Structures are given as structure tokens and as C-alpha cells.
Amino acid sequence: MTTPVPVGGFPAPDMLVDLPLGEVYGFLEPGPVVLLTTRRGERANVMTMSWHMMVEFVPPRIACVVSDADHSAAALTVTGECVIAIPPADLLAGVVAIGNSSGRSEDKFAAFGLTPLAAETVAAPLIGECFVDLECRVIDSSLADRFGIRVLEVIKAWRNPAVDDTRTLHHRGHGVFAVDGETIRTASRMP
């Protein structure tokens, strides 16, 4: 047995191996994978998004990354509003296809058989096949140019009891997904 060589007082991490930087996001990507809808003029569009995080309880605020390369980014910038819809796991094939095609060249609602529904407070559509729909306004774009980050505020939230499958999808990177599994309930002091 080799004795670890102390580095800065700690044992050397001899059992660890290099983790390529390109693999990092797959470990931290929070999920669930969501669909983000926008509507600019008469055109509704939808993209897949998994880089997002909660930043406030109530009103719910969500920071998300929408790349300038996405057609959705311009619609989000011009209208300042969108819907975040949470797809069930059985929508996986559509979720991947939506994230690998652009509203620049096709109507993704028609192409992937999604049902657009009228939202109450925004022009962007809700999605009938999703089990949660969140009507959102952009409240901060100060990091949009640098990182594509926008902070959204949820103005109105819907749950769809007609969708039985409420398992969420979580992107592990490179087209690999985890499906939401066992729920463990503990005593909580969270709001």
C-alpha cells in the first residue's frame, strides 16, 4: 500500500481520474428539461431548454440561458415574454426533435404535433401535452449579451390534470437523459 503524499495537509487524490471539461455540464445540469414557447407576431415557436435555475420562491423567478443562436432569443428579446412548459417523460422524442430544429425554417408546433393553447397574460402559447405551463415575463436581461441569461418572472401558473405522466426528463448531456424516479419525503423547513 502506498502512503498518500500530503498536499497542503490533505492526502493526494490518487483514486481520482481526469474529468474532461466538456463532461462537466452533464453532472450539474439541473433539469427538468422544459419547452420554452414564444410568439412574435402571428408566429409561435418552441425550443427545448435545460439550462435554468430558480432564483426566487414567490413570485417564482427563473434564470435561464437562451443562446443568441436560437431563433427564440430574438422573439424573447422583442416581446419580453414566454411560456415555460414542463413535458412528461413520454414526450422525449419530441423534446429532442424540438431541440434539434429551428422555428426559423419550420412551424414546430405543427411539425411535432403540439397543441398550442391560449395563455391568460402572455401571447406565447401554453402546450396542451405538458403537465405544467408557466406564463413568464422577462424581468432582467442585463446578462443576455454576455451569457444569454434572462431572468423570468412567472405571472400565472397552470397544472394540467389530463396529463397522467408527470415524470420529468433530466438531460445528462450528449443526448443522455435521466427520468425522474423515486420520491423521498422528509420533514422540511423550506417554504
Q: Long-range contact list for 119-124, CB < 8 A, 24+ apart?
A: 119/83, 119/156, 120/156, 121/155, 121/156, 122/39, 122/81, 122/82, 122/83, 122/155, 123/39, 123/79, 123/81, 124/37, 124/38, 124/39, 124/44, 124/79, 124/81, 124/82, 124/83
Which set of grid coordinates corresponds to residue 2? 502506498
| Least distance in angstroms from the C-beta of 130 to ligand FMN | 15
Nearest residue to ligand FMN, using CB? 99
- Ramachandran quadrant class, 129 (left: phi over 0; alpha: psi -120 to 50; beta: rest): alpha
Q: Compare residues 11 and 104 and give the one whose CB is closer to ligand FMN.
A: 104
| Least distance in angstroms from the C-beta of 12 to ligand FMN | 37
| Least distance in angstroms from the C-beta of 82 to ligand FMN | 11
Q: Compare residues 18 and 32 and give the one whose CB is closer to ligand FMN.
A: 32
Which set of grid coordinates corresponds to residue 186? 422528509
- CA distance linking residue 184 with residue 191, whole number of Å: 17
| Least distance in angstroms from the C-beta of 141 to ligand FMN | 14
Q: Compare residues 147 and 165 and give the one whose CB is closer to ligand FMN.
A: 147
Which residues contribute to the site for ligand FMN (CB under 6 A)?
33, 45, 47-51, 65-67, 70-72, 96, 99-104, 171
Q: Compare residues 101 and 141 and give the one whose CB is closer to ligand FMN.
A: 101
| Least distance in angstroms from the C-beta of 83 to ligand FMN | 14
Q: Compare residues 4 and 106 and give the one whose CB is closer to ligand FMN.
A: 106
Amino acid (one-letter) located at 8: G
